Each structure stands twice: as C-alpha cells, then as structure tokens.
Amino acid sequence: MDIRKTRKSPPASKHAATRTAPLSGKSREMAAQEAAAVDEVGPSLSDRLQQELGEAGDEPATEAHYRHQPHGSKSRKFKPGHKPPKVRSHKPRKRRLWLRILLPILGIIVVAAIGAGIWVYWALGPVDSKSTAVKQLVIEPGSSPRFIASQLEKEGLIKQRQVFLLYAKFTGTQDHLKAGQHELKASMGAEEILKTLQKQPAPKTVTFFPGATLRPTHKTKEKPESRLDVQRSLQKAGYSDEQIEHAFTAEYSHPVLAGRPAGADLEGYVFGDTYQHSSSASAKDTITLALDELQDKVKKNDIEAKLKARGMTLYQGITMASIVQKEVTGYEDMRKVAQVFYTRLQRGIPLGADSTYQYIADKKGIARDYNLDSPYNTRKVKGLPPGPISAPSLDALKAVANPAPTDYLYFINGDDDKNYFSKTNEEHEKLVKEKCATKCSWL
C-alpha cells in the first residue's frame, strides 16, 4: 500500500505533528464536519483536522498569514472557502483619542467666537441708550477715519474706536465721511453714527456776543451756563478745545490786525455777531469771519480815520471801546462815558474804570481789589490799559469815534441801574450818596 507524503506545516502547538493512516470516505466526511464545527475552538485541533484531511487526498491545505497576525506568531492553516477568525483593529482606539483631543479644542474655539461676537456687538452699541443730549462734532476737511474715530471716542459717542474703525472698513463707509458740523447723540449706535456722518451737514452757525472775553475767566468758570466768552461760543458750535486753541494762537495776516502790538492776542477783535458758513469751516475760519466783520464795520463807519483825528490808533480805540462796553449800556450814555475818558486822558487823570481791574483779577483768579497792583488797574494807573478787556459792540466803537460834546469828568451807575454824570468831585460825591448807596458802598 502506497503511503503519500503530506506537507508539513509548523505545529500549531508544542506537540509535534504526526502522520496518520488514510481515512475511509465516510470517515473523511465526518472529519470535515468536525473540523468545521471546531474551527473556532483553537489552533491545535483545527490544524490536526486539516492535516488529516490533507493526508486523505483532499485539496491541499493553504497556509495563510492573517492580516492582523502578531509579528513572530505561528501561521494557521485553513481550508479554502473558510474565513480566518476576525481580529480586532487598533484604529478605532486612535480615532477616539483624536476625538477626545479635538472636541474640547473645538468647544473652546466656539465659546471664544461667541464671546467675541457678543463683545463686538456691545462695542458697536450706543454709549448711553437713554441720552437725549445733542453733541456737535466738527470734522475738518482732510481728517482721516482714525482721527474721526478718536474724536468720537473722546466726545463719548462711541465705546471703542478700533472696533468702530473695523466696522467702518467692513461696511465700506470709512472713505465716505463728510467734513463739517454734525449733530450726534450718545444714544446712537455705530451704524447710525456712520449713516449720519455720510450725509452733508447743514451750514454752521456761530454766535459771538458783544462784551465777551476771548477766554473764560476764573469767575465765569464757576458758572459755565452763563459764559459768553468766545471759547464757549466755539465749543457750542462743536469745535474741540484743540481746534479752538489752534485758532486763538494761529497767525493771521488780516488788515484789521495791522496795528496790533507784537505778542497781543485776539482779545477785543472777535466782533460780536451771528455767523453762518460752510459746515466744514474750521475754528480759524470762523474767527476770520469775525475779523472780516470788524473790518467791514470800521471801514463803513470811518472809525479808524476819526480815531486818528483824536490822536488814537485803531488798537487804542478798540481798547477804550471795550471799557465803555463794560461800563454802560445805550449808545448815548456810551458817548458820554467816552467823552469822560477823553477828558481824563487829556488832564492826566486815571480813567477810574472798575471794569479794568476786575478783568485782570478775574483772569488771574484773585480777589477784586481796586488797590490791585496791575497796569490794568485804571484806578491807580494813568492812561489806557495794555489792551482790550472785551469785544466792543458797534455802538461802543462809534461812541469812541464820536464822543458826546460834553465836559463831564465823573459818572456812576446808580442803584436804579441808571447812569449819572457830574462835572465836579462835589457833585460826584453827592450823587454817590443819593443814587448809589448800595452799589457804591465800598467807595
């Protein structure tokens, strides 16, 4: 009887593989069923059954290495058509690890994005949603979006200028902001402010008052609502303090300023009137309008020529008119006071105007003392003070150019707010007792 050799495969267990005798057909059928039944039992029994089937003349067993078989482990034999046992993959574990890392990071990013969105929404909202106060914002021609945003932030109209700039750039409005005077409120959000700034503003209106000083004094600072100074008028028109200061200290090549001493400011030259011009005009442009108006009044009324006939320059005439403006009201009384001052100047008597020492005392923030040691104290110092103490009206200028034909030497403003004039000191003392018991009590 021939004995057929079979292939040897590595033993599936520590026991050596053995050669078996051929099986009958029935036995082979039973063995195949057993092999299929125990395929999952273990490598030793399955290998032996496959070996026996191979020796019995069936199709040779096929050696295979499983896809996920550990390196160095022994191969298993399986009959063609049989699937190898499933081996668990390690990839799902790696995926779960990445998910555990990525999910928290994504969560942080989402929360941060939501937080940033809320903050930006807040930053673009109104500063004070309940505010009804109107603020005047003046945008000078050529102002950059960054400078405009700084103005808005300084005026308390926006919360965050960088966010405002980014929003203006995002909406494409940053290059379409109009120069001029705009009316804004703190209750406006960034979107509404940008819409307003893109509209052509209405013409600017500025009112300067006769008798007003150039800057606020220490006394008027205590009552800002009653301030009539030029600086306050420009502030009400929407100009910033920086723009106003630039206008006050700028160089002007104006004919009405020709006789102004070197170093003198614009005190007395900002003519009191209401001016309307382009909303894009600067504070300096507004001052120039007032200088133009003063020059026009002086020229039309031949004031400079009349002052020259009395031996006075325009600057001296404006200085005297500024004192007259502060002392009395009414054109005819102004003419009489101007005549009193001319007479005193001619006789070498101090003008004795209380308004002059009061002006310098208020400007310095010191007590009003008629014994104050100052060239502005015309109770002690002869002649005119160094410069104007207010902006004279047209009546005051005309009064100085055309004084009354009288020979008064004194005047008082009585308790009844009427003005009384006298020629001698005796008459003056009598009027003080009779008409000025309260106002003149300090004399």
Q: DSSP per residue over 108-137, as a string?
A: HHHHHHHHHHHHHHHHTS-S-TT---EEEE
The torsion angle over the Cα atoms of residues 209, 211, 216 and 221, rounded to 10 degrees, is -90
Query: What's residue 49's pLDDT?
Result: 45
The torsion angle over the Cα atoms of residues 254, 258, 262 and 266, rounded to 10 degrees, is -50
3-state secondary structure of 418: coil
Q: Which of 192, 190, 194, 189 is nearest to 177 (CA)?
A: 194
The torsion angle over the Cα atoms of residues 229, 235, 240 and 242, rounded to 10 degrees, is 0
Identify the helix (H) or strand (E) that includes residue 63: strand 62-64
Half-sphere exposure of 66 (CA within 13 A, CB side): 19
Per-residue pLDDT tens listing for the chain (443 residues): 444 444 444 444 444 444 444 545 555 666 566 555 545 444 554 555 455 545 444 444 444 454 555 555 555 555 555 556 655 555 566 667 777 777 788 888 888 888 878 887 888 899 998 888 888 888 888 899 999 999 999 999 999 889 999 999 999 998 999 988 888 999 999 999 999 999 988 788 899 999 999 999 877 666 666 688 999 999 988 888 999 999 999 999 999 999 999 999 999 999 999 998 887 788 999 999 999 999 999 999 999 999 999 999 999 999 999 999 999 999 999 999 999 999 999 999 999 999 999 999 999 999 999 899 999 999 999 999 999 999 999 999 999 999 999 999 999 999 999 999 999 999 999 999 999 888 875 55
CB 52 within 8 A of CB 86: no
Both structure tokens of 366: 């010191």
Query: What's residue 102's pLDDT?
Result: 79
For the chain, the domains span 25-78, 134-202, 205-300, 311-435
Q: Which fold has domain 134-202?
A: Dna Ligase; domain 1 (3.30.1490)
CB 116 within 8 A of CB 160: no
Q: Which of 53, 46, 36, 55 is nearest to 75 (CA)?
A: 46
CB 9 within 8 A of CB 17: yes
Please report, for residues 38, 39, 140, the alpha-carbon distance to residue 22 in angstroms, rounded to integers and kept in the order given: 21, 22, 112
Q: Which of 164, 87, 90 is nearest to 122 (CA)?
A: 164
Query: What's residue 138's pLDDT?
Result: 83
pLDDT digits (tens, 9 = 90+) for 265-316: 999 999 999 998 887 788 999 999 999 999 999 999 999 999 999 999 999 9
CB burial class (10 A; 0-12, 13-18, 19+) of residue 190? buried
pLDDT digits (tens, 9 = 90+) for 88-122: 555 566 667 777 777 788 888 888 888 878 887 88
Residues 226-252: b if buried by 16+ CB within 10 A, e if exposed = ebbbbbbbbbebbbbeebbeebbeeee
Query: What's residue 297's pLDDT?
Result: 98
pTM of the model: 0.63
pLDDT digits (tens, 9 = 90+) for 4-13: 444 444 444 4
Distance in angstroms (rounded) separating the CA atoms of residues 171 and 217? 46
CB 52 within 8 A of CB 61: no
Query: What's residue 80's pLDDT?
Result: 59
Query: What's residue 101's pLDDT?
Result: 78
- The amino acid occupying position 427 is E
Query: What's residue 13's pLDDT?
Result: 45
Distance in angstroms (rounded) separating the CA atoms of residues 363 and 147? 33
Distance in angstroms (rounded) separating the CA atoms of residues 305 and 297? 13
Query: What's residue 132's pLDDT?
Result: 87
**DSSP class of residue 52?**
H
